[in-house]
Every structure is written in structure tokens, then in C-alpha cells.
Structure 1
Amino acid sequence: MTLPLTPQRLTAQPITPESFAPFGQVIFPSADGAVFGPSDAQLKLDRGIPRFYIMTLEAKGTRFRTITRHQRCTQCLGALEGKDWFIAVAPPGEAEQPEPSKIRAFHIPGNCFIKLEVGTWHAGPYFTDAVISFYNLELSDTNITDHQTCSLAQDFGLEFEIVGGE
């Protein structure tokens, strides 16, 4: 049985280290030569071969019906060329599905990147430019062996749209 879809609008909030803390870290530029510390990405990539690559994505709007998580590693995402973008996230946890009421959207400026904590549910990147290239740090097999997706449409009858925040 297919549930009728209920649209949910998420207003993208500006990302700050404090607001993003339940989901991971936001990393802003630091001075060359700064020593490693808590404002650096705290990575967990010890369960396989790390993969750092550039992916080119075409705009697909700001609506989503699925959300994904990775349980074996952290993931870092950042846009090249100073482009702004959006991501929707829900906190990590033991449950097999995220709580839809806990999904938040963030506006991410092009002068930083995010590190998603292990198990953080995420949908995106989303953006309004025609094309953006992103760098992505995860494990080499993350999208094969560590990719759990929840269908918000099928399981909850929800479709989300990220608005504002620019």
C-alpha cells in the first residue's frame, strides 16, 4: 500500500559548529601550521581503505523522499569553487529509521566543509546552481557495503523540500 505524500518544508538554517554538532562537524579554514585540535575533522576511517574523490553533481532540486546513513565511517563533503549548498540531516542512533520530526536542513557556504558523524542520516547535497563539484571523503566501499537508505515516502508518506537559508 502506498501512502499519500504529505509535503514538509524545511527551512535551511545557517550552519555553525554549535548547530551542526548533533550531526557532525563544520570545518572552517584555519591558519597554516595550526596544530591538530578539536576544530579539525575528527575522522573515523579505520574500517577500510579511505577514498577521497571529486564528484560532479547536477542540480536535482531541493526535494527528497529518501535519507541515507553510513554506520562504518565518517564522511566529509565540501563544494569546490566556493559554491553554497544545502544538506538535510537527522541524528545518528540505533533505530532502523530516523525520526522525521528530527530532520533539519542546513545552508552550507562555500568556505567550509562538513564531517558527518558515523550513522548520521543525510539527504543531499542539494543546490540551486546547474552543476557543482564536491569533494567527498569516505571509505572506498561505503556506497556498496555501508549504505542504509530509508524511504521517507514509503515508510512515512513524507516528501521534504528545503527552502530558504541563502
Structure 2
Amino acid sequence: MTATTSMRLIAEPLTREAFAPYGDVIQADDGAQHFTINEGNTERYHDLARIEPGADGRAIVSIFRGLPRALPFTIAMMERHPKGSQAFIPLSGRPYLVVVAPPASTPTVADLRAFRCEGHQGVNYAPGTWHYPLMALGEVSDFLIIDRAGPGDNCDIVSLDGNAVLE
């Protein structure tokens, strides 16, 4: 593909199975290990994501406030965090989009896959998974982020070999 080529990208529903090559779905449902605690007052959805800060890093918690994106939206770049995972957990209860590609050396537009995430579903990108930055829909939305702090550069950004138009 050349830089003038565009590909149509349609977001599919987020499921654990479909997202598994890219990381974890963070969701309280019957598909997750869960059990009752606190004298029967609380259901614990246990170990939902593999948080990986890397050998020399530590896990940190932040809040990102994302402006809404309007569709159709052109995807022309991707980023990845090679030293650690990065989890996004919506706090505003609104749907959002993720675009991912496998953790290969350089993604192409043909490698992209888009998911529509519901407001009760979070994602955890495995270390090295290519993804597009935060894409809130409809309104300004807050996300709890768990990712890595530590020495070294942990963000690679690449331009794609063309554009994908997310519809």
C-alpha cells in the first residue's frame, strides 16, 4: 500500500476471545473467575488483567480525560509500549473504540483491527501491542489507566503505510 491508499475499518464488538492476541478484556461477567467475599456482601472478579510493569518499572495509576472523536476517523499512526502493559478502564460508563495490531516490528493498515468497547469493559494492552491513542465517543470521558513508570523510552510511534478510515 502507498501513503495515498485508504482501507475501510469497521469496529467489531469487544470479546475476550477476539481481543486475546492483543491483551486482556477487563470485565465483570461470568466469563471471569469470580467468588463471593466480605461475608457474602461482595462479588470479587479476580485477576482480570496481567499488569506487566517490566523488570525495571513499577505500576502506576493515572486518569486520562479524553475528548470525543467523531466518525469517520482516519487512522494514520500507531503507538506501542514495549516495556510494559497499559490498561484502560472507563470511568464515565460510555462506549469507546480501540484499534490494535499485533506486536510485530511495524504494523501495516492490513494488520489493524478495531473494537467497540462498552462502558463497562476495559482493555489491557499486552507489552508491545500496537494501538491507536484513546478514542472516546460522544462526550468527554474519563479512564483509569494502569501502566508503567521507570527508566528508558516506553513509547514507540510509527506512521502507517496508508490510512484506515474507522467508520
* Corresponding position of 1:26: 25
In structure 2, how many angstroms separate the alpha carbons of the residues matched to 1:128 and 1:27?
19
Corresponding residue SS for 1:81 = coil
Please say if 1:69 is aligned against 2:72: no
Task: Tell me the residue number matched to 1:127.
Answer: 136
1:160 pairs with one of 134, 142, 164: 164
Q: Secondary structure at the match of 1:124?
A: coil
Under a length normalisation based on structure 2, what TM-score does the superposition of the two structures give? 0.81
Q: Which of 72, 78, 90 matches 1:79?
A: 90
Question: Judging changes above 3 Å, is the alpha-carbon distance between structure 1 residues 32 and 86 closer, same or farther for their aligned structure 2 residues?
Answer: farther
Percent of pairs identical after alignment?
25
Q: SS at 2:21's partner residue?
A: coil
Aligned to 2:157: 149
Q: Which amino acid aligns with 2:75?
A: F
Q: Which residue of 1 aligns with 2:62?
A: 53
Q: 1:102 to 1:53 in 2, by over 3 A?
A: same
Alignment-derived partner of residue 43 in structure 1: 51
Runs of 5+ in structure 1 lacking a partner? none
Letter matched to residue 102 of structure 2: P
How is 1:70-109 mapped onto 2 (pairs within 5 angstroms)?
70-93=81-104, 95=105, 97-109=106-118
Cα distance in structure 2, aligned partners of 1:51 and 1:161: 33
Instruction: State the alpha-carbon separation in 1 of the partners of residues 101 and 3 from structure 2.
Output: 23
Query: Distance between the aligned counterparts of 1:137 and 1:48, measured in 2?
Result: 12
| CA displacement at 1:36 relative to structure 2 | 4.1
Q: Deviation digits for residues 64-108 of structure 1, max 9, x if unmatched?
A: 211001110011012212110001000113x2x113312100000
Runs of at least 4 residues of structure 1 off by over 3 A?
A: 30-37
CA contact (8 A) 1:86 1:124 kept: no
Greater helix fraction, Structure 1 or Structure 2: 1
| Structure 2 unaligned blocks of 5 or more | 29-33, 38-43
Provide, for residues 7-53 of structure 1, a one-character-per-residue CA deviation record: whole Å limited to 9, x for no partner: 2221100010000001011011155544745xx21121143132211
Task: Give, as a single letter, the amino acid of the residue that structure 2 aligns with 1:103.
Answer: L
SS in 2 for 1:63: strand
Please give the root-mean-square deviation of Cα atoms over the aligned residues, in Å: 2.1
Specify the structure having the higher radius of gyration (Cα). Answer: 2
Cα 1:141–1:4 shift into 2, 3 Å: same
Residue 122 of structure 2 is aligned to residue 113 of structure 1: yes
How many angstroms apart in 2 are the aligned matches of 1:86 and 1:161?
13
Q: Name the CA distance, whole Å, in 2 between partners of 1:73 and 1:32.
A: 31
